[in-house]
Homo-oligomer: A and B are copies of this chain.
């Protein structure tokens, strides 16, 4: 993606939505923003999914990570234009997630169409590698959920097989999500696939770590 014109200015104009030091909120995201739950999106791109999901769930705080400032600026402007109060952005990779979020702080993580990193040499970079899953398990509450979508069959199979060792259990799995018509909120990328009639793979997995003693 080419650099957007006036990127710095446009980021500055939406600075109130951008969390530049997320570690400062660690352990107090929910209380700070007066929401009931925290949902995290890894790789929000231009934010179509983020915006639509946040609009439908005003009591949930959505924190969206995106490594590309050029994509994220569009998402910032969309949220700003709609005046949504329950979305914040972090311009970062998922690598340092546990520095931004405390154990048991989030109840859901969305991963939509992440980079499949097709070469086996790069398997560790896939966002469903066990290494990442164990971090998700830490920041998610017991029974917290990962909602994962992809158009990439190899990544889908890889991900399903990493779940158990990463501390998660498959709760729902679909190999052609929109087979009988559109289901749920779609990303920009997903819409293109849907229009071509290509299958989207989805799973929802549950964090199996033990909860607090009753």
User: Which residues of A138-164 are within 8 A (CB) of B?
Assistant: 153, 156-157, 160-161, 163-164
**Interface assignment of A169: CB less than 8 Å from any CB of chain B:** yes
22 contacts between A and B (CB under 8 A): A153-B169, A153-B170, A156-B170, A157-B160, A157-B163, A157-B164, A157-B169, A157-B170, A160-B160, A160-B161, A160-B170, A161-B161, A161-B164, A170-B175, A171-B175, A172-B175, A172-B176, A173-B173, A173-B174, A173-B175, A174-B174, A174-B175
Expressed in whole angstroms, the minimum distance between the Cβ of A153 and any Cβ of chain B is 7
Residues of chain B lying within 8 A (CB to CB) of residue A176: 172
User: Which residues of A154-193 are within 8 A (CB) of B?
Assistant: 156-157, 160-161, 163-164, 169-176
Residues of chain B lying within 8 A (CB to CB) of residue A160: 157, 160-161, 170
In the bound complex, CA of A127 to CA of B174 (Å): 23
Residues of chain B lying within 8 A (CB to CB) of residue A163: 157
Residues of chain B lying within 8 A (CB to CB) of residue A169: 153, 157
Residues of chain B lying within 8 A (CB to CB) of residue A156: 170
Residues of chain B lying within 8 A (CB to CB) of residue A153: 169-170
In the bound complex, CA of A157 to CA of B159 (Å): 11
User: Which residues of A38-71 are within 8 A (CB) of B?
Assistant: none
Residues of chain B lying within 8 A (CB to CB) of residue A161: 160-161, 164
In the bound complex, CA of A120 to CA of B171 (Å): 22
Q: Which residue of B lies closest to A164 (CB)?
A: B157
